[in-house]
Structure 1
Amino acid sequence: MILLRSRRARTGLAGVAALVAAVTFASCSSTTDNGNGTSSAPVDLGKPMDAAAASKLAIEKAGPIQFATGSTTRGVNGKVITIGGIADVKDTTGIENFPGVCDGAKARFERANREGGVNGYTFSYAGCTDSGADPTKSKDAVTEMVEDKKVFGLVPFTATVSSVGDYLNDKHVPYFGWGISNDYCGWNNRQFGFSVTQAVSCPNVLPGQTFYSSAGLESYLTGSGKKAADVKAAFLGSSVAAGESSVRSFAKMAVGLGMKAPYAKTPIPGPGAPPLSDYTPIARDIIASGANLVASTTPPAQIFPLVAALRSSGYTGDVLIYFADPRLAPLADQLDKVYAMTPNFGSSVFPSPTFLQIGTDLKAIGSQADSGASGTLTSYGAADLFLKAFAKISGPVTTEALAKVLNSGFDYPALGNAMCGSTWPAGRALGNDCAAIVQFDGAKKAIVPIKDLQTFGHEYLFSAA
């Protein structure tokens, strides 16, 4: 029974890994490669920018938003605003990848109501529909929410396989969630979409150029105490276009920061391909490269056998992964001493008033969701961003007025140590330089804190060619 639960935990986190991989690698796709999967020639990363400088440059490059006109009051019933949600609650196999992805938003809106509302308005939550990682279901759910339930906006909107961005923007429907689908990718044509993760997989917002962040590697250096010059990094991913681009980008950043990158390959079969039965050849290839850091964005179902193969083959260096879902804690003995970066979100292993408040709000609606789960934080944070912007509306409440508040230049501060802040409208072109670092402790079967949510690294602007 324990084995079955462990397998389910690993499999059920595949979507989490997909999300954080996209978040981590919102970057350009070029690097210096000598043809055998290594990257070591000098790389000039260009001018490092903090969030303010990158935001200013992004707006200069893209131009100001041309505000949508109109007076859409759909979902405004007197002093009550109707909100709905659409999320991939379960994937096509029925596994729940993102617990709390609906409950977080509902909990935050209910808290706003308990506190008396915002500017005299309260919020009625019309429910959250499971889009099931199915584009047809996503489209049908959006149509029902907008045309039948007459919602003011969608909070959250986290359909990962979806193509309703044109519809939502044509109908002037504000939507908030994570930016893992193309529905969040654009500038004027996506001015009603606001991702709490900012731009994570949108390479063409600025024609010919892309921003990306050094947070992934700089957070590891800070958390481990290592010097860049002492790190020989191996980057590996899945054999799909996104994985190949990610690995190349990561290798380029590593070399630019002063590391060596003797291994940069994508030997892991992609979705739909037969899974590997033996990771030993990959492990031996990595060890032969001389790497002392292995960084992988592959899902948990692939991380576990990879780590096992590395250790059984004699690897003694560090391993860095990009997810630390609380459900992995019971399996920490299989990931002992592995570092985990949590891009965009904090971790509840760092106790704080913020996580306590989120937990209290969840309990108030009868939810069992974990306050530190990525689904909870995405949903709760999306609602918090909505409410903070809603409070700034002056004059009649319309969807256009809400979008204008955000697109006129809106800085959303970090949600305590639970979620990174964002800036608008530049967030459509930028990633986040914010993360937390934790480590798996096998003896304790726990995820232990290393560095709480903070800014790591800088933004860089590269040619997309």
Structure 2
Amino acid sequence: MLRPIHALAAAAAALALLTACNSASTNGTSPGGLGNTPGATRGVTADSIKVGGIVSMTSASGYSKKDTDLGAKARYLRANAEGGVNGRTIDYIGAEDDGQDPGKNTAAARKLVQQEKVFAVSPMSSVTFSGADFLQREKVPTFGWGTLPSFCGPEYIYGFNGCLVPTPGGTINQTWPEGIARILGGAAGKSVAIIANDSDAGKFGVATFRQGFGSAGFTVSYAKASVPGTAVPSDWSAYVKEMLTSNGGKAPDAVVSVMQTPNNIGLFTALKRAGYRGVLTDPTDYDPGLLAKDATRQALDGVYVLLQFEPFESRSPAMARFKADIKAAAGGRNVPLNMHMMTGYMSADLFLSIAGKAGRNLTPETFQSAARTFSDTGTLVGDRAEPKGQKDSFGCGALVRLGDGAYEVAVPFACHQPIPFK
């Protein structure tokens, strides 16, 4: 864990927390902010800001987002090396593991706020976010990958690349449909099948991408959130048969999976064995670590992966800095990069950017005031703006393709005009 404040600061923090608890119980002040007195705001002392995370380190399927924690640590380490935020270092206590379990997600949120007394939760990366209402109520700035509805609307919750699962009135990022159209030589006369897990995230994903691909000119021949979310199916034949006859008795031109790696490996392997030769694509399998096993590499060979950040293959100064920060956080080792690292890194980066704008008098209220007029440009996720990002995607992304044991950029990083979500 990244704990730059030691004995004296710990004693000061303890005194501040005791004062905060007493104030909250006696004067009716809001749980998140206890006034402008130095040290009176939860998680903020004279020289530190305490931050924690919630990450699915483990899951029933074996899928792990643990490197999200490393990505966040990398960004906070650099922030501290550069002097912190308005004179305060970041006391990053690491991430709680929710195991992709709703009950554990809520418990992790409560622990971070009620026991650890964090000012912010960044990153939050899971397929469940049952703790969102609690964090919003307690005025805890929270940052993560905006693939869940809770990142789209609540005042204190932010997607690092905006809202990716909008409600009516919001917009949809068109990077994926536009990228697949480019690969297929256009969308006219082309069809796609969209499949997801039977979960809230899966259902929202299907609704979103069904509209997105339809608006781009594709025929959506199949769109179901029907795969169990608790365990990877051992037999994919029913799903494969239904998809491969969905286009008027024929196979679709592309199969779009809105699922995680274990499911994608099973589905794509079954589709290939059934003779499918169309485009396979998903938003999760950009991870060089997946190439270590022959079976995994073969299952994902030829798959196009959606990214909502610059590919690691980019030679931009921002990407070079990201790679250097990850190496430093990993103790000087060159570790395989993956999208979970980017989730943690850019969640931390957005938090730091807004906190910097909030100034020395940091409270939940001053943080939100700064967020309401925040914007910057040229980041690894494109141009950012709040509160736009709590309703809309930032609209940028790329597609990479896995082939011959390596990733290559298939559609370069670019920003597309989003469409209204209905």
- The normalised TM-score by structure 2 is 0.78
Matched, 1:139 2:106: yes
Are the structure 2 counterparts of residues 420 and 90 from structure 1 closer, same or farther at C-alpha, using a change threshold of 3 Å? Answer: farther
Q: 8 Å contact 1:80–1:124 — kept in the other structure?
A: yes
Whether the 8 Å contact between 1:283 and 1:313 is mirrored in structure 2 is: no
Structure 1 contact 244–265 (Cα < 8 Å) conserved: no
Q: Would the aligned equivalents of 1:69 and 1:400 in 2 still touch at CA under 8 Å? A: no
Matches within 5 A, 1:309-348: 309-326=270-287, 327-330=289-292, 331-342=296-307, 344-348=308-312
Which residue is 2:125 aligned to?
158
Mark the runs of 5 or more structure 2 residues left unpaired by the alignment.
1-32
**Residue in structure 2 matched with residue 382 of structure 1 by the alignment:** 347
Flag the 1:391–1:269 CA change in 2: closer, same or farther, 3 A: closer
State the alpha-carbon separation in 2 of the partners of residues 82 and 241 from structure 1: 31
Cα–Cα, structure 1 residues 227 and 86, in superposed 2: closer, same or farther, change >3 Å? closer
Partner of 2:55: 87
Equivalent in 455, 458, 465 of residue 415 of structure 2: 455
Is 2:262 the counterpart of 1:301? yes
Residue 366 of structure 1: aligned partner: 330
* Match of residue 177, structure 2, among 217, 234, 242: 217
Q: Which residue of 2 aligns with 1:78?
A: 46
Q: What is the TM-score when the length of structure 1 is the normalising length? A: 0.71
The AA in structure 2 aligned to 1:453 is F
Equivalent in 250, 261, 277 of residue 235 of structure 2: 277
If asked which structure has higher relative contact order (CA below 8 Å, sep 6+), I would say 1
Q: Is the 8 A contact 2:232 2:262 kept in 1?
A: no
| Aligned CA-pair RMSD | 3.1
Deviation at 1:380, TM superposition (A): 0.9
Q: What is the match of residue 4 of structure 2?
A: none
- Please give the per-residue CA displacement for 1:82-113, whole angstroms capped at 9, x wherever unaligned: 222222222246x3521321122222111111
Match 2:187 to one of 228, 247, 253: 228
Cα distance, 1:264 vs structure 2: 1.4
- Check conservation: 2:166, 2:421, Cα contact below 8 A: no
8 Å Cα contact 1:235-1:295 kept in structure 2:
yes
1:439 is displaced (CA, Å) by 1.0
Shift of 1:338: 2.6
Aligned to 1:115: 82
- Show CA shifts across 1:350-408 (max 9, x none): 3444333223223323356957422211111111111211221245222211121012x
Q: Per-residue deviation at 1:154?
A: 1.7
Is the contact made by 1:371 and 1:377 (CA closer than 8 Å) also made in structure 2?
no
Q: Can you list the C-alpha shifts for 1:147-192, whole angstroms capped at 9, x where unaligned? A: 3332222222335433333332333222222234454343xxx222
Q: For 1:357, which of 321, 326, 330 is the aligned residue?
A: 321
Amino acid at match of 1:145: L
SS of equivalent residue, structure 2 residue 188: helix
Would the aligned equivalents of 1:369 and 1:376 in 2 still touch at CA under 8 Å?
no
Tell me if structure 1 keeps the 8 A contact 2:103–2:130: no
Aligned residue runs from structure 1 range 394-409, under 5 A: 394=359, 396-407=361-372, 409=373
In structure 1, which of residues 197, 213, 219 is the aligned counterpart of residue 161 of structure 2? 197
Provide closer, same or farther for how the CA distance between residues 241 and 103 of structure 1 changes in structure 2, counting only shifts above 3 A. Answer: closer
Deviation of residue 70 (structure 1)? 5.2
| Partners of 1:448 and 1:154 in 2: CA distance | 34
2:358 match: secondary structure? coil
Counterpart secondary structure, 1:379: helix
Offset of 1:81 from its aligned partner? 1.9
Question: Which stretches of structure 1, 4 residues or more, deviate above 6 A after TM superposition?
Answer: none
Q: How does 1:409-420 map to 2 (within 5 A)?
A: 409-416=373-380, 419-420=381-382
Contact residue 165 and residue 208 of structure 2 kept, 8 A: no
TM superposition shift of 1:253: 3.8
